[in-house]
Structure 1
Amino acid sequence: MTQPLLQPEILEVVFSNLDGKSLLKSSRVCSTWKNVVEYMTGVTKVWKQCCEEEIHQDVLTDISTNLYPTLLSSSQEDNTKWRNIYLCWVQWKNIDRWPSIKKEVFTISRRNEFITCMKMSGNCIITGHLYGGIHIWDCSQGYLGFVTMHLKEVTDLGLLYIPGLKFSTERELDVKHNLVISTSLDHTIRVTALCLNAEQVIVLRHHVGPTTSLGVYRSMFVVTGEDDCLSIWKIVAQPKASHVECPVLVYSRLDIDSPVQVVSLWRGKVTGITASNHFYCLKRLHGENINADITGLQKFEEKNCHIVRKYIWRHWICAWLTGHRQMYIAVGQNHASRKYNTMPALLSYPTALLLYGEMFLLGMESGIIYLYLINTPEDLLKLDLDCYKWKQPVSSEPILFMDIAEDNAEPMIVVTAGQKLYYISLQPS
């Protein structure tokens, strides 16, 4: 039996100086190298170091909170999870090589059941509806059941995982979160256990008008509504608690001059777009406490332009679709922006947008999804629409909503198009 040219102890020193992609390749060379990499994964922080050095912080937050919602806020290190995060980041760059399986989950038969918002957790899809209901679906089994009920249309959904919070339920769901936050035209905010026929429901009546948009991050969520009020809440749970404590109101602001229509909460900073198309930002003091000072009100102007949908991601990235079927994207604190006309390149107009990790997805009126890879947020201002990384025909009807769920083996994209809900299972090679 021949001895390896390099002893495992020497290989470990060499491998500790490699980048993540080289480390992945090294693990495929031979069984000895593979065993050394697996040993390093178990006892060192090599993969966490690769993630922090090679992946942009916002991209890392996107992937890690999707794959492991509590990882960044946990004091316990799990090196295997960091390796999986790095692997997911690398795999998305090769999406054009993956086979995919498209499946229709269900078709909506009645108008009052139309989907108005949608989120995904694990293998399950959570949908808010025009009539006020919130339902949950399994990508493999289809409809699972009812979660909770608003009196009027559900306008937005957010998912949270609160460590230590465990609900007793007759049926375990394949989800990564344990709470769903919802807003509605009935003026309320609901905090509901993410389970079938949830008995744990807290109804917040802080707003005097319809609540229309929300953002979530860790144990906090921010809500805005048509009453020109913006409110920020924090959920505190005791270890091994079986019920939800009433969220604490951290901050509330009434702004009649610049009411916020679309809001985001990202790493403790609140950003939003106002009805007059100003950019709204609240700064972080320390930890997860929010400062009440407005740090910037910048205005985006386009004459004679009706805005159909607005999006905001992370700190300083926003987009909007206009009645003239144009797409605008603004990036950075100076809000450099660009207008796109997608018709010449894609033969259709965008009806839904999604920014996730280093991917920008366009859901089109034609029912097709186009995916573009970006290295920096500024790349959104110089997209070559002809050079998409991946294209997926979904439906003959317009794309309305999109969401992504990470999984170690098969990430999924969920799509609402017309009156149908689809999921696309991607299979990295």
Structure 2
Amino acid sequence: MSLPIEIIERILLNCDGKTLLRARKVNNDWKNIVDYLSLRTDIWEWCCNEEIPKNELVEYLQNYKSDDPDKFLNIYTNWSSWEDIKDIRCDIIRSPVEINRISCIAVSGEFIAVGSNDGRLRIYTVDWKLIYKARILAVRLNSLAFMESRCERTNSCMDLPYLTLVIAFHKGLHIFCFDGVNETQLVIHDVKSHSVYKNYVCYEKVGGRIYIARLNPSDGGGKELTEVWFSRVYSPSSISCMKMWEGVCTFLINNEVKIIDYETSDCSTMDIMKRKTRIKFNFPLVESSDTVILRDDVIIRLCKNENDVKCDFIEFFLLGENDLYSKKMFTTWDNFRSYITCIYLYGNTLILGMDVGCFSEIVFRVPRNRIMEQ
């Protein structure tokens, strides 16, 4: 090195995360300098907070262990790899366990939950150690979502799991709490749709009744749901979709996007939803369309065309400030020569699962100066 290490360190402290990643790949000497800076400072945490959009960073933080010393380095490496993605390759990796009739899967930072068509729930650690197995319902488990999960260190030097799962089944929710020894279960009936975020759950019941509830410890040592907010939608009889994210719940009712700040101190049980924007759909909202809210700023509608030529239409909306949004529309057949089976948003990339067994990606990030008023 032609420069003293102290000078190189000062230069690197003023670099962005992508430059630091490139510096780590030069050789072992440069890697050691960057890693030494990581020990002395919170340089990777600074890079994450400065460069990763808040909504994306919140999502990454939920999927990494809080006590991992390389957490922010791994988050930044993951995020930047999706920033400049050119191609998605799917490698088939078989798990060391065999599970039949899988209907849903959920992953937290430390646990993997698997639901089955016969109502069985299996929970594994990240190294596929089975910690729970039982048939908790007599019907198919439709979806799983972690509300909270962690490992607790005991005096016997054993890690005991502490986790809560929201399990959706036909017209109901099953909230399952497990502390490694004991389990408690709460059941909510007549549920049409729901969304989960941290220790909150929002659900719509038959008749257009909407609730937001927080999971709290009960006096008996178990768990109980405390109602935080309630509303009722009279027209239509049910909302189109909902999504909880970082203290805000976003609703799509007909073609209007509305929100409620459920974590604010002045939020009352009967607060009125605030109108965010009105969306202009190219196709009317019908039963053959599937609409989802991803995070709190992306809405996707997948419309099935059952006429002469079968084709899926996608309408993609990126919400901006106030009443602004951008819209893009395309057909799955023209773009992908296949039909979409599932939709997932990870970081800054929209991942679409196809019926031909492959993935395609669309980077949804749009500069704010391109968000148009509709």
Band of TM-score, shorter chain:
0.7 to 0.9
In the alignment, what sits opposite 1:295? 274
TM-score using structure 1 length = 0.69
CA distance in 2, matches of 1:60, 1:357: 8
Q: Does 1:119 align with 2:106?
A: yes
In the alignment, what sits opposite 1:221? 201
Q: Give yes or no for contact 2:184–2:223 (8 Å, CA) kept in 1.
A: no
CA distance in 2, matches of 1:380, 1:368: 31
Q: Does 1:248 align with 2:235?
A: no
Deviation at 1:367, TM superposition (A): 2.3
CA distance in 1, matches of 2:331, 2:257: 23
Deviation at 1:269, TM superposition (A): 0.3
Match of 1:181 among 154, 166, 172: 166
Which residue identity lines up with residue 87 of structure 1 in the other structure? T
Q: Give yes or no for contact 1:130–1:152 (8 Å, CA) kept in 2.
A: yes
Q: Does 1:329 align with 2:316?
A: yes
Q: Does 1:64 align with 2:64?
A: no
Match of 1:39 among 15, 36, 39: 36
In the alignment, what sits opposite 1:397? none
In the alignment, what sits opposite 2:121? 134
- Cα distance change, pair 141–165 in 1 and its aligned pair in 2 (3 A): closer
How many residues matched? 356
Q: Does 1:373 align with 2:363?
A: yes
Deviation at 1:340, TM superposition (A): 1.5
- Cα distance change, pair 140–300 in 1 and its aligned pair in 2 (3 A): farther
Match of 2:257 among 279, 287, 306: 279
Deviation at 1:317, TM superposition (A): 1.1
Deviation at 1:51, TM superposition (A): 1.2
Which residue identity lines up with residue 273 of structure 2 in the other structure? I
Match of 2:247 among 256, 263, 268: 268
Deviation at 1:107, TM superposition (A): 8.5
Percent same amino acid among aligned pairs?
18
CA distance in 2, matches of 1:243, 1:260: 35
Which residue identity lines up with residue 241 of structure 2 in the other structure? V
CA distance in 1, matches of 2:41, 2:32: 14
Which residue identity lines up with residue 181 of structure 1 in the other structure? V
Deviation at 1:140, TM superposition (A): 7.7
Q: Does 1:49 align with 2:46?
A: yes
- Cα distance change, pair 262–45 in 1 and its aligned pair in 2 (3 A): same
Deviation at 1:86, TM superposition (A): 0.9
Deviation at 1:246, TM superposition (A): 1.8
Deviation at 1:65, TM superposition (A): 1.7
Match of 1:318 among 299, 307, 315: 299
- Cα distance change, pair 40–244 in 1 and its aligned pair in 2 (3 A): farther
Q: Does 1:202 align with 2:181?
A: no
Q: Give yes or no for contact 2:241–2:292 (8 Å, CA) kept in 1.
A: yes
CA distance in 1, matches of 2:248, 2:234: 21
Question: 3-state DSSP class of the match of 2:190?
Answer: coil
Summarize deviations over 1:303-353 as a string: whole Å, max 9, x none: 484434222111121112222121222221445433221212321121211
CA distance in 2, matches of 1:107, 1:79: 33
Q: Give yes or no for contact 1:361–1:371 (8 Å, CA) kept in 2.
A: yes
In the alignment, what sits opposite 2:193? 212
Summarize deviations over 1:161-187 as a string: whole Å, max 9, x none: 35686799xx979x9x82211233353
Q: How does 1:349-388 map to 2 (within 5 A)?
A: 349-376=339-366
Which residue identity lines up with residue 278 of structure 2 in the other structure? Q
Summarize deviations over 1:203-252 as a string: whole Å, max 9, x none: 144xx513432221x332222233422222223459xxx96432322222
Structure 1 window deviating more from structure 2 (95-104 vs 333-342): it is 95-104
Deviation at 1:199, TM superposition (A): 3.9
Question: 3-state DSSP class of the match of 2:365?
Answer: coil
Q: Give yes or no for contact 1:213–1:263 (8 Å, CA) kept in 2.
A: yes
Which residue identity lines up with residue 36 of structure 1 in the other structure? I
- Cα distance change, pair 286–380 in 1 and its aligned pair in 2 (3 A): same
Question: 3-state DSSP class of the match of 2:59?
Answer: helix
- Cα distance change, pair 94–278 in 1 and its aligned pair in 2 (3 A): closer
Q: Give yes or no for contact 1:306–1:322 (8 Å, CA) kept in 2.
A: no
In the alignment, what sits opposite 1:28? 25
Q: Give yes or no for contact 1:41–1:47 (8 Å, CA) kept in 2.
A: yes
TM-score using structure 2 length = 0.77
Q: Which has the higher contact order (CA 8 A, sep 6+)?
A: 1
Deviation at 1:46, TM superposition (A): 1.5
